[in-house]
Amino acid sequence: MEATVEDASNALFEGFQDNSIRKILVPIDGSACSDNAVKFAVDLAVKYNSEICLVHIIPNVSVWNYCLMTVDGGFFPACAIEEIKKAGKRLLSRTLALVKEAGVKADAQLYHGHPAKKIVQIAEEREFDLIVIGSNRPSLTARLLLWNISDKVTQKAPCPVLVVKEPRPKKGKKGGCTQ
């Protein structure tokens, strides 16, 4: 008896059920790539009846360095840590409202630490089934300080990681944040 492609596919996905993606972790930073990851995660959450946890991590770097990599790409006038926290909370609140508006159960948390390490730690401690993260092409400053977060998370995560790239621009247009 010969095995068919259908048999192989059934064997590969044996035990995979729609409820196997119950909890999705989505790190956000306010970038276009991060926004695309949220949209993708919402689509998955609707399909699999999953819940989403949004996280924003304030890096353990000097306030000056963080100002070079702010949530919205600008500079904080005083570069005060309280302003940084407020900006992160606004980002989380705004994004959480959009996710809930789509009918998805969700929560949001602000953390401090090395972003990639913290994302992996959260995924381990809270037993997430999937991480959906935007592909980031960090600036030179960010690369020197943090390297590429999505690459590090992909290497160290305890669960599958889906890296969402920004759609390619239509022919003749520049842009995007793909790696």
**pLDDT band for position 165 (cuts 50, 70, 90):** confident
- Give the pLDDT of residue 140: 53
pLDDT at residue 179 tops 50: no
Look up the pTM and report it: 0.75
- Give the pLDDT of residue 78: 46
Q: Is 141 or 27 the better-scoring residue by pLDDT?
A: 27
The whole-angstrom separation of Cα 178 and Cα 44 is 21
Could you tell me the domains of the chain?
Answer: 18-164 (3.40.50.620)
Q: What is the pLDDT of residues 102-160, one digit of tens each?
A: 999 999 999 998 889 999 999 999 999 999 999 866 555 555 544 578 888 999 999 99
Q: What is the pLDDT of residues 71-107, one digit of tens each?
A: 455 555 445 677 788 889 999 999 999 999 999 999 9
- Give the pLDDT of residue 56: 95
89-97 contacts: CB < 8 A, separation 24 or more?
91/28, 91/29, 91/30, 91/56, 92/28, 92/54, 92/56, 95/28, 95/38, 95/54, 96/54
